């Protein structure tokens, strides 16, 4: 049953193994450049899988997975906890959900796809009473050189509050808050290099870790990203709920 339907796009949760298989194939295409492969891990069995489909062509154009947690005491179960020390977030008392493996089919660039995805996520968050959304936001490749302005902007404006700041856990990281402490970013270059998903988080008041993890398995650099639902600006909440309605 659709969670959200707008124009030619429908967002719904996976209904059985065939749907999950379809999301794993799209993830393999986007994250591993493997059109005939699967991107699957043990966390898939613990997650809800969201599909956004183009009903005019019966095509899966976007997907992501959600891991609901009752509160921060369960955060060590999350995918992100493999890469970041999240003991501070274990004190978060409200319901949380980890969003991961967010991807859009490379042949489909309609901005309405992202709007429908975020609208469906908003509807889920509201209905489930979620108080924090978190996950890993990825930069393509494992070299930081192309993203120095973006990382410098994150350091200047978007670091996590100290009470939630993730600690270093992964063996290979780029500690951008320390390495770039004297750098001032070029704002245009920074926003151009910022991944679309992360850009959306930041617009809504999201924050990031002070370091990026070098993930050679997925060929990415990623930052832990958190968004407290109460911190989303009212105008942005109104817009998202209008899409979700």
Whole-number pLDDT of residue 1? 72
Give 10-residue mean pLDDT values along the chain (245 residues): 91 98 98 95 98 96 98 98 98 98 96 94 96 98 97 98 98 98 97 95 97 96 98 92 87
Cα gap 208→222, rounded to integer Å: 10
Kindly report the number of other CB atoms within 10 A of residue 151's CB atom: 28
Token pair, residue 204, equals 């809504």
Say which residues have a Cβ less than 8 Å from residue 179's Cβ, sequence separation at least 6.
none
Cα gap 13→53, rounded to integer Å: 11
Among 47, 50, 107, smallest CA distance to 79 is for: 47
pLDDT in tens, 42-55: 999 999 999 999 99
DSSP state, residue 185:
-
pLDDT in tens, 151-201: 999 999 999 999 999 999 999 999 999 999 999 999 999 999 999 999 999
Token pair, residue 165, equals 């700041």
């Amino acid at each position: 049953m659709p969670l959200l339907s707008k124009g030619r796009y429908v967002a719904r949760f996976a209904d059985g193994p065939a749907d999950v298989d379809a999301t794993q194939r799209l993830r393999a295409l986007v994250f591993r450049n493997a059109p005939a492969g699967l991107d699957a891990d043990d966390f898939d069995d613990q997650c809800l899988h969201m599909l956004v489909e183009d009903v005019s062509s019966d095509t899966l154009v976007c997907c992501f997975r959600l891991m609901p947690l009752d509160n921060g005491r369960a955060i060590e179960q999350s995918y992100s906890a493999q890469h970041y020390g999240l003991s501070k977030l274990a004190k978060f008392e409200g319901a949380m959900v980890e969003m991961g493996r967010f991807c859009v089919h490379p042949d489909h660039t309609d901005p309405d796809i992202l709007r429908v995805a975020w609208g469906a996520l908003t509807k889920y968050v509201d209905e489930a009473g979620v108080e924090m959304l978190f996950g890993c936001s990825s930069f393509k490749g494992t070299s930081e050189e192309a993203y120095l302005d973006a990382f410098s902007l994150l350091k200047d404006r978007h670091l996590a509050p100290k009470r939630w700041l993730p600690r270093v856990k992964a063996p290979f990281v780029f500690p951008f808050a320390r390495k770039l402490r004297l750098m001032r970013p070029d704002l245009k270059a920074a926003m151009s290099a910022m991944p679309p998903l992360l850009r959306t988080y930041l617009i809504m008041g999201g924050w990031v870790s002070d370091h990026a993890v070098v993930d050679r398995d997925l060929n990415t650099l990623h930052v832990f990203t958190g968004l407290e639902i109460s911190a989303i600006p009212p105008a942005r909440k109104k817009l998202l709920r209008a899409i979700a309605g």
